[in-house]
Chains A and B, each alone.
Chain A
Amino acid sequence: MSENLIEIKNLHVTVEDKEILKGLNLSIQKGEVHVLMGPNGAGKSTLVNTIMGHPKYNVTSGKICLEGKDITHAKTDERARRGLFLSFQSPEEIPGVSVENFLRTSYGAITQKPVKIFAFKKELENTMAELQMNKSYAERALNVGFSGGEKKKNEILQMLMLQPKLAILDETDSGLDVDAVKIVSKGVEKYKNDENGLLIITHSTRILEFVDVSQVHILVNGRIVHTGDRSLIDEVNTSGFAKYETAV
């Protein structure tokens, strides 16, 4: 039996007829943490949105398998039910739908089981406390009027409540102050175990403080051009992507 959580083979993706991903390969095993870096426009957001199945992104060839099951053309909600989670770079605001109501609906949809309201509420409150979120946020409309930091914490809250098999964090740490990054990092640590996996898009090591990084990938012009260990992050932060861009 394969221990591959996700396996992406020769992925080509177009957006509005423009090819962004040009044969991307990536596989993540259970228990691993992968970091994805790359210059603006390299295709990082395209990759994560494609993994999650955004209708705007068109897979022209290649495939994506989650735990051995081909999900290349699955609907977004099916992917979520199979254990994929994306922490959005800019989470959507949904007026009139409270965080608690939304999470309960989502939890029910993913687990396909009736949700015990009081037990759920208790767990939600505990998790919010760990993320140093005020309880009142449970009653507020989803992301509406949240600051950038609050939105990101709310994404991590959802990740912790929904317990996905593979969580993808799309620049979850960008725009956060030092304290908020610490809280988010703690959340990531709490989530991580030997059975699940993480794919993190980031520019810095701050969010990785409490986790072991298995691999770091450099994405340039729609392909992964280099893979290394944690030290690669510091190298990129010192020297930039120029070396890899010219290599393409």
Chain B
Amino acid sequence: MSEQKKHVADIDRSMYDFKDKDTSKFKAHKGLTPEIIRKISAEKHDPAWMLDFRLKSLELYNKMPLPNWGPSLEDLDMDDITTYVQPDTKMKGNWKEVPDDIKNTFERLGIPKAERDSLAGVGAQYDSEVVYHNVKDEVTKQGVVYTDMESALTEHEDLIHEYFMKLVPPTDHKFIALHGAVWSGGSFVYVPEGVHVSIPLQSYFRLNAPGAGQFEHTLIIVEKNASLHFIEGCSAPKYNVTNLHAGCVELFVKEGAHLRYSTIENWSKNMMNLNTKRALIEKDASIEWVSGSFGSHVSMLYPMSILNGEGAHSEFTGITFAGKGQNLDTGTRVVHAAPHTYSTVNTKSISKDGGACIYRSGVEVRPNAYGSRSSVSCESLMLDAKSRSDTVPVMDIRNDDVDVGHEARIGRISEDSIFYLMARGLSEEDARALIVRGFAEPVAKELPLEYAVEMNNLIKLEMEGSIS
């Protein structure tokens, strides 16, 4: 732990010096008070039970300690936490303050101007709103509810009351308690029994007002024998003047249902991304997680599958790419809590230019989960000797009738592979980039084409100038 802290402290982050610019007017506030929460709740016209929930979460938040494991969170100013959550905070930034590297990335990824403004938190909603409404109209015909969380709280209060933070209770850890107190925005999807949604739905906050997507709550319910593909985030860097993201994703996958949940996260590199995602998988149901982490300064992200019904299945495919100034602590957790449940985990990580990737996982097989199988494979690539790559997996098996396997490998790009490609005319830089893209291919192939192309471009971009 201390070593890791030291390592983090060594990172030069002078390029992120803008972090406190707009926050001075809140300096008087120390800590988060019930008054602030009441104010947030009132602005959102919460029902009484939600205000109550927020206040209870706040109490937990104020009592709970910071985690005693994982990456250093010293860059997070807990005293100034109010600045992150003030309802009257003008999250809207100024295009001039958006760092050049982000502007350049927009440019090179070919993000349209309107979308750039929105992503950088400086523009209004952009034209895709129209696209969103068209999609919404189409799925509504099938009886699917696809809306933002605030609207859902008004229009489907019973459902929200029944499911909201039941899977990820605010008692889980400090940041989820914070989320429970101050959550705002996010997506709600309800897929009725037997309905197969043929087009992937995308997270609402990508299209939502600027500044949203910090404490957003995503709640998805896929009823019996229904199916859905949901896509969250985008590969263009999302820039916020405030730098804490403590979102929450709750996924309920009912008997025989299927959910694929894809994420490409590329938060701006000043962001502390402490995101909690969890899925409850019932009998014969399945979830596929596809998770790409490219952005943020510090991440703690471990999507969790609870295999709650016999025959439930979970598949996790992840890639993490950490460059300069980044400490990305990512992985997954699986709980086999019913007989004959299956899980597979495939992860890749790439560390470069002083970046740190930590792969962390937990696979638990409960005593009743006989006949279960789990297979985990993780591969890490070190692109230089300045970076860091750790693998921290845990298995907890409480039953003999299991088959649990785990493999991990860490290494570098072999000199011979580079030579082979250079012998076919590729420059060293292109050869390395091609090998890294190939390394990431198992994840890219799980993504919709446009996202895969964006991810490949992103890798190419990250790899530029990687040869010293």
Contact = CB atoms under 8 A, between A and B. Distances in A.
Do the two chains touch directly in the complex (Cβ atoms below 8 Å apart)? yes
A91 B420 contact: yes
Contacts of B417: 92, 94
Interface centre among B419, B434, B435 (most CB of A within 10 A): B419
Contact of B421 (A55, A56, A94): A94
Nearest to A95: B438
Nearest to B413: A94
Given A96-B439, A97-B435, A80 B422 contact: yes
B423 A97 contact: no
A26 B417 CA distance: 28
B434 A94 contact: yes
Contact of A97 (B422, B427, B428, B434): B434
Interface string B406-446: 00000000111101111111111011001101111110000
B424 A158 contact: yes
Interface in A193-210: none
Contacts of B420: 88, 91-92, 94
B416 A77 contact: no
Contacts of B415: 55-56
Nearest to B440: A96
Interface residues of A, number: 30
A52 interface: yes
A95 B441 contact: yes
Contacts of B431: 77
A81 interface: yes
Given A77-B422, A91-B420, A92-B416, A109 B438 contact: no
Interface residues of B, number: 24
- Residue among B419, B421, B423, B438 having the largest count of chain A Cβ atoms under 10 Å: B423
Contact of B425 (A56, A94, A109): A109
A141 interface: yes
A232 interface: no
Interface centre among A55, A77, A94, by most chain B C-beta atoms within 10 angstroms, is: A77
A77 B425 contact: yes
Nearest to B414: A92
A54 B419 CA distance: 6
B69 to A, nearest CB: 32
A94 B428 contact: no
A10 interface: no
Interface string A75-110: 111011100111010011011110000100110011
A248 B419 CA distance: 33
A60 B141 CA distance: 76
Contacts of A91: 420
A106 B426 contact: yes
A13 interface: no
A162 interface: yes
A104 B438 CA distance: 15
Contacts of B421: 92, 94, 102, 106
A77 B427 contact: yes
B438 A86 contact: no
Given A55-B415, A92-B416, A92-B417, A106 B438 contact: no
Interface string B312-353: 000000000000000000000000000000000000000000
B435 A94 contact: yes
Nearest to A54: B419
B212 to A, nearest CB: 35
Contact of A105 (B422, B430, B440, B441): B430
A166 to B, nearest CB: 13
A91 B417 CA distance: 9
Interface string A52-75: 111110000000000000000001
Interface of A: 52-56, 75-77, 79-81, 84-86, 88, 91-92, 94-97, 102, 105-106, 109-110, 141-142, 158, 162
Interface of B: 414-417, 419-428, 430-431, 434-435, 437-442
User: Which 7 residue pairs of A and B lie closest in terms of their CB atoms, listed nearest first?
Assistant: A96-B441, A96-B438, A76-B422, A97-B438, A80-B425, A109-B425, A110-B425
17 contacts: A55-B419, A56-B415, A77-B423, A77-B426, A80-B422, A80-B423, A92-B417, A92-B419, A94-B435, A94-B438, A96-B439, A96-B442, A102-B421, A109-B424, A109-B427, A141-B438, A162-B425
